[in-house]
Amino acid sequence: MSADAAGHLFATPGLVIESATAHVEVLVCAPDGAALALEAEDVGHGHTRRLTPLVRQALARAHVEPRALGWIAADLGPGSFTGVRVGLATAEALALAADAPLLGASALAALALSSGACRALLVPLVPGGRHDLYAGFFRADLRGCVTLLAAPRVAALPALFEAVAEARALLPRGSGLRFVGPGAAREREALERFAPGSTEPAWRFAGLSAADLAVAVRSGLGPAAGLPAPGEEARPLYVRSAQAEERVRRAAFAGRPIRIRDFAEPDLPAVAAIERRIFSDAWPESYFREELSQAMAWARVAEADGALAGYLLAWVGAGAGHVGNLGVIPEARRRGVARALLEDLLEHAGAAGAANLTLEVRVSNFAAQALYRAYGFRLAGLRRGYYRDTGEDALTMAWTAADAGGAPAASGGGSAQDAGMPAGRPISSNPG
């Protein structure tokens, strides 16, 4: 969203719904961001029954008609499944009635952006059940500028501590560690044993506020800060997929084989067309053509239902390799295409004697990170401002044969529900 577009959008009153926990807040914002009215209530499991009356009360107190709203925003989660879905559905209905855009931000990003942390790994925590926590991973610099570091995870404390250590290793020596949010309140004693001082000062231990959500939505920071891209559809953040849905999906596609074969020159026009369709920083056809002739190139395509569904380009030599490009058409995602291409690569790497593989991936590409993690890739480095189109950082992820063995591993809480999402690629080789 351009500054002019954002200025025009927020020059009107807006309404924010925070309903991801049992504590619900509805805020009506003035054009300058000030609160015109706030309704808050602990609704327990009564989101469906109580949210609409709270919206009605907030608008009445603010003397704002629903049709006068210029924007509506909701918490995208994670949190209570019912609360998030009811909040988003209510916000969508209001947006349709007012002919206004529907906006959103995740609870994790809003908690991180409002925390005031500096020079630290920032880990917002939201309860995810009796033992599990949803955890976000952000980095705060010396000026307090907060940016996304890695995909969120859901795990119990032992696995969470491993994930925190892995993420913390990416930051400069001496960086602090800060846990915020209601999950930090629930597990404060254990978190303090793990890292003394990491829950101080306490921040939003009672849960995210609608005011913080409003600030995040109005910031316009986009994917680099863990927020939706301008114009992106507001959708719930599912850190873990629904098991029943995954079983049905796998059963539906079990009898539809995926064929992996060499990427040949006649495939170039089709691959280039897919590349332009799914990447904002697409490689040109000429680059693919040049790489096909390289001795270390491992170039493969995947076919599903007789049509090209995805492709992979990597460079593998004796000892090491690098994944340059992995893409799958939207219609074939979540059908195992990316997994088949990755397994094919790992088999080749083993045969070639490659002990490790690396790749770059956008910090906001949660599905790709979960896929790679499931196959043994781990965080290995951070390249700041790597993607020129959004200003996002890139994560370097590394796979080691001795650790992973080439077989799928437990994802540690991440969801590979959209495993066909494309990977990152080296900017030095991608002038587009």
Q: Which residues form the catalytic set?
A: 360, 372
**How does DSSP assign 41-70, residue by residue?**
EE-TT-HHHHHHHHHHHHHHHHT--GGG-S
Which strands form 133-140's sheet, in the order they lie side by side?
146-155, 133-140, 120-127, 176-180
Is the C-alpha dihedral spanning 192, 195, 196, 202 positive or negative?
A: negative
Angle between helices 210-219 and 107-114 (to 10 degrees): 90
Q: In whole angstroms, what is the distance from residue 64 CA to residue 66 CA?
A: 6
260 contacts 344 by C-beta, under 8 angstroms: yes
Instruction: Give CA separation, 388 vs 6, 227, 384, 430, 432, in Å.
Output: 21, 17, 10, 11, 10
Pick the closest to residue 54 from 37, 71, 29, 69 (CA basis). 37
Token pair listed for 414 = 């991440």
Pick the closest to residue 114 from 14, 202, 213 (CA basis). 213
DSSP category for residue 171: S
Quickly tell me which residue has 């949803």 as its tokens.
Answer: 134
Q: In whole angstroms, what is the distance from residue 360 CA to residue 325 CA?
A: 9
Q: In whole angstroms, what is the distance from residue 16 CA to residue 381 CA?
A: 36
